[in-house]
Chains A and B, each alone.
Chain A
Amino acid sequence: MKRFRGLTRRGVLKGAAAGAAATLAAPAFLRETMAQATGPIKIGIPCALTGTFAAVGQVTKRGAEFFAKERNAKGGILGRPIELLIEDTQGNPANCVRKAQEMVERHNCRLITGVTVSSEALALVPKLEEWNTIFMSSINGDGRLTAASFVPNFFRANTSGPMGARAISLFLRESKMQKFFALGMDYAWGHNSVQVFETELKNASKEFIGKVFSPSGTKDFSTYITKIRQSGADGVYLVLAADDNNAFLSQAHQYRLAERMTMLAEQLELVSVKAVGEAAIGLTASSRYPFTLENPANAAFVAAFQKEHGEVPDQFDGEAYHGLAVLAQGIEKAKSIEAEPLRKAMEGMVHDGIKGKVTMRACDHQGEQRGYVVQVAKTDKLPHPTLNILKTYGADQITPPCNKMTYDN
């Protein structure tokens, strides 16, 4: 009997030793050691493919994949094909950091873009220096990313939240409306945009009568809508995205909020317009990328996109595409994907693409670009309402001063 026991113990030890050997040997064998100087250019996209922000993440993925396919057909960047690493973060910063870390440490990827939520981006930026990685924002709106939280390896090709708020408030300066209320999503971007809007109204001598924040993932907006109705405002400023925006717009339609006051949105996705249909008509919004932009590059993009997907590109299709196009131009200019030369190449670089001329200014890496105010309108040409551009503002009016997220009027 003792013998058996002895054997068992030895067996256990052998098992442990074998396990240890396997743990030590296998990964070394599997390890990727090749530096990324040749082969495909890996671009990491840790985005929210599931969860509250899934609508945004899915569209980002579609736009990015479209860019990669189109570009690869033309020979890629620097003659190297683009390989996208797309991973689901559920819009959770902890997951986002983990996924991005995996892209950097495991797949030797040094370029990140397409991060969905601003709080994810805020969690990522302190890591960029250690990772020696460039992060090109194509969605993240929080003004702090190019102000208080700015790091040298961060670039923002997209229109930021403050820029969206600025466009709407410049538009309001010309209107007769006097009193405004604001509803924002209760996280980084929502707070930031509402704050900028509030300051802008004061500068324009308009009245800001109150604000309310709804947690991400709110399904029932009835209490918020009641509050907004009771406020007696002429207009309500909305900082909502994805599912929350859909829920709000359809409930606001039921409550006939639009008959009481003008609804103004900080940004607008077509996916929301499609989801709520008629309920969206008349909605005025600042748009980061309306597919109706008139320039040759955009016309070609929209046509090619429609051919591929059978529908027009949404706001974040355009932004994801635009972000990658800026990044690709930077890489070609730097002839490298290493952080330092790439950073230098992109500072001050002018990109002329689907959003017109965009200058990646050197001081805080914000892309200087025009701002658009659009209105949702009926059309016969599309199965859903379209976005009519009401007003275009110049980059000098829209882009905040360096390292700031407020405007000097």
Chain B
Amino acid sequence: MRGWIILLAVVVVLAAAPLGLPLFMMTLLTEALILGLMAMSLDLMVGYTRLVSFGHAAAYGLGAYSAGYILLHSDTPVLFAVFIAAAMTGIVAIAAAWVFTLATGVSFAMLTLAFAQLLYAIAFQWQQVTGGSDGLAGIPRRGGPFGFDLLTSKIGYYYLVLLCLFGAYLFCRTLVNSPFGAVLRGIRENENKTRALGYNTRAYKIGVVAIAYALGGLAGALYAPFAGFTNTELLFWLFSGQALIMVIVGGAGTLIGPILGAALFLLAQHQLSSVTETWAIYFGLMFIAVVLFLPEGIWGTLMQRLGRKTQRV
């Protein structure tokens, strides 16, 4: 019950944000929510199934390029374009996951990295479709029928992103609390045992990868019309690493934590780089501090403390 009240309060605050925040803060907040959605999708794999991915940029980039291409080359309204792009990413991920799940552990992580780098190379080379190293620029935020024109404005688009994140959160929360989620946790704790219980663990793993990629693709698809461009950086391994940092800093296996981690990451990167040119050092130190002193991540530790307090009472 308490969880729901907090959640409701957060959503109300976020929904009211445009009333009080200056324009640029809204831009930053929109980007933070998009990154949050991406980090949360990765958490399904890392936090709940212990499928560590070094290539989640693949999901984000694929979603971004798909949405960008659709918006540039057709009259599809932005609302449909982002969901089509997310679905496409999910479908591609089923095939990719079939390959990933041939391996486990570090090899699995390496395969995800290889897939992302493959997409990176394709994006670089396939000039006609991806624009090569320049990427796709001038991606429109096209409105459409049924009052979707609201989405073309900054605030309208912010609400779309907020709704997508909220919807995805509810979906993920339901998923991890469902029998499907129980099997995922079973795989996390002991895959052999879960298999011995009669579950086809590989099918579950393919399922969770496809869902995680589809949601990551949704985040990327939301990013393309938000920023107005895509480029190969979105598919680069550096970005995959940053996604993992967001999950770890926020707290893996908490869903909320990674969203928080993503927001903190973006804010820290943005603010620190305006203060000092050696911002990367401070950033690294902060990350090390979190890993050493808050091994459960910020949100994970916070929840543990709160949980302990309630128990004591």
A interface list, Cβ under 8 A from B: 1, 4-5, 8-9, 12-13, 16-17, 19-20, 23-25, 27-28, 30-32, 49-50, 87-88, 90, 92-95, 97-99, 101-102, 104-106, 118-119, 122-123, 125-127, 142, 149, 186-188, 191
Known: A16-B6, A50-B280. A94 touches B133 (CB 8 A): no
Inside 8 A of A187's CB, which chain B residues have their CB?
133-134
Task: Give the distance to chain B from A187, nearest Cβ to Cβ, in Å.
Answer: 4
A13 touches B313 (CB 8 A): no
Q: Which of A9, A13, A16, A88 contacts B277 (CB 8 A)?
A: A88
Q: Is B289 an interface position by the 8 A CB rule?
A: no
B22 touches A27 (CB 8 A): yes
A119 touches B134 (CB 8 A): yes
Closest residue to B20 on the A side, CB-wise? A24
A186 touches B133 (CB 8 A): yes
B134 touches A188 (CB 8 A): yes
A105 touches B21 (CB 8 A): no
A13 touches B137 (CB 8 A): no
Inside 8 A of A119's CB, which chain B residues have their CB?
133-135, 231
30 contacts between A and B (CB under 8 A): A12-B6, A12-B9, A13-B9, A16-B6, A17-B9, A24-B16, A24-B17, A50-B277, A87-B273, A87-B274, A88-B279, A90-B273, A92-B233, A93-B229, A93-B233, A94-B233, A94-B234, A98-B270, A99-B274, A101-B24, A101-B27, A105-B22, A105-B24, A119-B231, A122-B134, A122-B137, A125-B137, A186-B133, A188-B134, A191-B133
* Chain B interface, DSSP helix/strand/loop, else mixed: helix
B124 touches A94 (CB 8 A): no
Task: Give the distance to chain A from B123, nearest Cβ to Cβ, in Å.
Answer: 12
Q: Which of B2, B22, B25 contacts A9 (CB 8 A)?
A: B2
CA distance A8 to B274 in the complex (A): 39
CA distance A262 to B12 in the complex (A): 67
Q: Which of B5, B28, B135 contacts A12 (CB 8 A)?
A: B5
Task: Give the distance to chain A from B20, nearest Cβ to Cβ, in Å.
Answer: 3
Inside 8 A of A123's CB, which chain B residues have their CB?
135, 137, 227-229, 231
Known: A50-B277, A102-B24, A122-B134. A20 touches B233 (CB 8 A): no
B interface list, Cβ under 8 A from A: 2, 5-6, 9-10, 12-13, 16-17, 19-25, 27-28, 31, 124, 132-135, 137-138, 227-229, 231, 233-234, 270, 273-274, 277, 279-280, 310, 313
Known: A88-B277, A126-B228. A16 touches B270 (CB 8 A): no
Task: Give the distance to chain A from B71, nearest Cβ to Cβ, in Å.
Answer: 12
Closest residue to A151 on the B side, CB-wise? B138
The 10 closest A-B pairs by CB, nearest first: A24-B20, A105-B24, A106-B24, A16-B9, A187-B133, A126-B138, A105-B23, A20-B13, A123-B229, A188-B134
CA distance A1 to B310 in the complex (A): 10
Task: Give the distance to chain B from A50, nearest Cβ to Cβ, in Å.
Answer: 6
Task: Give the distance to chain B from A109, nearest Cβ to Cβ, in Å.
Answer: 11
Q: Which of B20, B31, B228, B229 contacts A23 (CB 8 A)?
A: B20
Task: Give the distance to chain A from B72, nearest Cβ to Cβ, in Å.
Answer: 11
Q: Which of A13, A97, A106, A127 contacts B5 (CB 8 A)?
A: A13
Task: Give the distance to chain A from B231, nearest Cβ to Cβ, in Å.
Answer: 5
B132 touches A191 (CB 8 A): yes
Inside 8 A of B313's CB, which chain A residues have their CB?
1, 4-5, 8
Q: How many A-B residue pairs have CB under 8 A?
A: 117
Closest residue to A142 on the B side, CB-wise? B134
CA distance A80 to B22 in the complex (A): 26
Task: Give the distance to chain B from A379, nearest Cβ to Cβ, in Å.
Answer: 32
Q: Which of B12, B28, B273, B274 contacts A20 (CB 8 A)?
A: B12
CA distance A250 to B274 in the complex (A): 33
CA distance A126 to B137 in the complex (A): 7
CA distance A125 to B138 in the complex (A): 8
Closest residue to B278 on the A side, CB-wise? A50
A127 touches B133 (CB 8 A): no
CA distance A186 to B121 in the complex (A): 12
Taking A12-B2, A90-B273, A126-B137 as known contacts, 5 extra A-B pairs with beta carbons closer than 8 A to each other, sorted by chain A number, are A24-B16, A24-B20, A97-B228, A105-B27, A106-B22
CA distance A308 to B132 in the complex (A): 42
Closest residue to A216 on the B side, CB-wise? B133
A88 touches B273 (CB 8 A): yes
Closest residue to B21 on the A side, CB-wise? A27
CA distance A23 to B16 in the complex (A): 9
B233 touches A23 (CB 8 A): no
CA distance A99 to B27 in the complex (A): 11
Question: Which of B17, B133, B273, B274 has the most chain A CB atoms inside 10 A of its CB?
Answer: B133
Inside 8 A of B277's CB, which chain A residues have their CB?
49-50, 88
Inside 8 A of B280's CB, which chain A residues have their CB?
50
Inside 8 A of B22's CB, which chain A residues have their CB?
27-28, 30-32, 105-106
Task: Give the distance to chain B from A60, nearest Cβ to Cβ, in Å.
Answer: 14
Task: Give the distance to chain A from B162, nearest Cβ to Cβ, in Å.
Answer: 14
Inside 8 A of B137's CB, which chain A residues have their CB?
122-123, 125-126, 149
Inside 8 A of A94's CB, which chain B residues have their CB?
227, 231, 233-234
CA distance A221 to B134 in the complex (A): 23
Task: Give the distance to chain B from A94, nearest Cβ to Cβ, in Å.
Answer: 6
Inside 8 A of A98's CB, which chain B residues have their CB?
27-28, 31, 270
CA distance A94 to B228 in the complex (A): 10
Closest residue to B1 on the A side, CB-wise? A9
Task: Give the distance to chain B from A240, nearest Cβ to Cβ, in Å.
Answer: 15
Inside 8 A of A97's CB, which chain B residues have their CB?
227-229
Inside 8 A of A99's CB, which chain B residues have their CB?
274
CA distance A272 to B23 in the complex (A): 41
CA distance A4 to B2 in the complex (A): 14
CA distance A95 to B238 in the complex (A): 14
Task: Give the distance to chain B from A217, nearest Cβ to Cβ, in Å.
Answer: 11
B229 touches A126 (CB 8 A): yes
Inside 8 A of A101's CB, which chain B residues have their CB?
24, 27
CA distance A30 to B21 in the complex (A): 10
Inside 8 A of B227's CB, which chain A residues have their CB?
94, 97, 123
CA distance A87 to B270 in the complex (A): 10
Task: Give the distance to chain B from A127, nearest Cβ to Cβ, in Å.
Answer: 6
